[in-house]
Amino acid sequence: MYGNDHPVEIEIGIGKGTFLTEQAKARPETNFFGIEWARWFWRYASDRLRRNGCTNARTARVEALFFLTEYVKDASVFVLHVYFPDPWPKARHHKRRLIQEPFMKQVARVLVPGGRLQIVTDHQEYFEQIDQVVRASPLQIVEYNKPGSAAEGEFVGTNFERKYRREGRPFYAIAAVKS
């Protein structure tokens, strides 16, 4: 797909592509893949990558768990980024949340040994669930690494983070590695 053997990082929920574009520009020795379900965001992010000449990045408009299950090889991903996933705050919608046991099984399968999962959210109740699910998985909890594209005082440097910071929302982060 990329014509090289560089490491692959996947971002789930690329939004407008701010994080993905900045990472692809800063790290040409890494291949990036962005997944987005919302058509408008996917088109915007894909065009942003094109305009910035990010030939080391690809995108797909697809449901994330399906994509991981059907298209990602075992032990092929170095980092999986999940920033500000939809919290589906109503109790009847919790079953739609991404970070659940079936997702974590796929994460453990697709990450290379030593591969990393990074998650940031602004939703405390969802974070409490994420924390439990990640801790119950075979991954080991480690310190969250702030990406180099994040500005001073930022966790990630996405449009959502910047918007939520202006609103005064707190952020919650967790990271884990496959041993």
Query: What's the pLDDT tens digit per position in 77-86?
Result: 999 999 999 9
Output the pLDDT for position 31.
98
DSSP state of 93: G
Output the pLDDT for position 54.
98
pTM of the model: 0.95
Looking at 5, 47, 74, 86, which residue is catalytic?
A: 86
Output the pLDDT for position 1.
77
Task: Indicate the average pLDDT of the chain.
Answer: 95
CB of 18 closer than 8 Å to CB of 158: yes
- Give the confidence band of 97 by pLDDT, cuts at 50, 70, 90: very high
Residue 122 is among the residues annotated as catalytic for this protein: no
Residue 66 predicted with pLDDT over 80: yes
What is the average per-residue pLDDT within 139-162? Answer: 89
Output the pLDDT for position 88.
85
C-alpha span between 57 and 8 (Å, rounded): 9
Q: Which positions ≥6 away from 46 have C-beta within 8 Å?
A: 17, 59
What is the average per-residue pLDDT within 44-57? Answer: 98
Query: Which among 162, 146, 68, 77 has a CA at the least distance from the CA of 113?
Result: 77
Residue 68 predicted with pLDDT over 80: yes
Residue 157 predicted with pLDDT over 90: no
